[in-house]
Amino acid sequence: GAGVSQTPSNKVTEKGKYVELRCDPISGHTALYWYRQSLGQGPEFLIYFQGTGAADDSGLPNDRFFAVRPEGSVSTLKIQRTERGDSAVYLCASSPWHYNEQFFGPGTRLTVL
Amino acid sequence: AQKITQTQPGMFVQEKEAVTLDCTYDTSDQSYGLFWYKQPSSGEMIFLIYQGSYDEQNATEGRYSLNFQKARKSANLVISASQLGDSAMYFCAMREGIGGGSQGNLIFGKGTKLSVKP
């Protein structure tokens, strides 16, 4: 079956712009996580969805970051007024339940100029 | 304080030899899980192996084994018979227990870059 997919694979934007990053989890997986990986670092947790609701958004760095999962499947991470410090690889992961192994997508590399 | 510490930024190993990648963790939870992921240059995180805090046996998956020493809070990854394709970044990660308020998110270390020499 298909794995986790993320689009776009690369996104270059200018400081101050708005971006949307999409994650399509494995079919049937109810748990969905977003992580951010800066250069030379391990991934850092951003937000977790169980079904349609954000069960834990404690990792979002500030209110410029927002994520939705309206139908309990595809999720979109939204970043307003992007800053150069937002440049990173954004990883999405899904699992059948929140205590199972997480399956990661290939990531979206965001570059803010 | 770091919850996951990987002290080896880079490691070299000769093809066909075994290598150990170090990981220590810090948690006050009794129930937690430890994971190792591989990240090749393509960027995708590939799950390798899992160890639960209550598992008495060390986890093994093919050429991967996890040397779990609970009292020392260490969870080292052992790769036997290294192959050229094992060259990648390796991340140790922990999922804390429900008692600590965890919703299952993983806490990652900074990783170890493994290079396998022919």
Asked if B104's CB is within 8 angstroms of A31's CB, the reply is yes
* Average confidence (pLDDT) over B77-98: 93
In angstroms, the CA A24 to CA A39 distance is 24
Asked if A42's CB is within 8 angstroms of B44's CB, the reply is no
- Structure letter (DSSP) for residue B88: E
| pLDDT at residue A110, rounded to an integer | 98
- Which residue does chain B place closest to A56, by CA atoms? B103
Is residue B89 over pLDDT 80?
yes
**pLDDT tens by residue, A45-81:** 999 998 888 888 999 999 999 999 999 899 999 999 9
For residues A43 and B35, the answer to whether their CB atoms sit within 8 Å is no
Nearest to B33 by CA among B92, B117, B118: B92
| pLDDT at residue A101, rounded to an integer | 84
Asked if B110's CB is within 8 angstroms of A41's CB, the reply is yes
Question: Average pLDDT over chain A, rounded to whole?
Answer: 93
Asked if B108's CB is within 8 angstroms of A42's CB, the reply is yes
**pLDDT tens by residue, B21-74:** 999 999 988 889 999 999 999 888 999 999 999 988 999 999 999 999 999 999
Give the Å distances, CA to CA, from B18 to B13, B49, B76, B82: 7, 17, 13, 6
Q: What is the 3-state secondary structure (H, E, C) of B39-74?
A: ECCCCCCEEEEEEECCCCCCCEECCEEEEEECCCCE
Among B104, B107, B110, beta carbon nearest to A98: B104
Chain B hits for A38, Cβ within 8 Å = none
Which value, to the nearest 10 degrees, does the dihedral of the CA atoms of residues A110, B95, B2, B75 take?
-110
Is residue B101 over pLDDT 70?
no
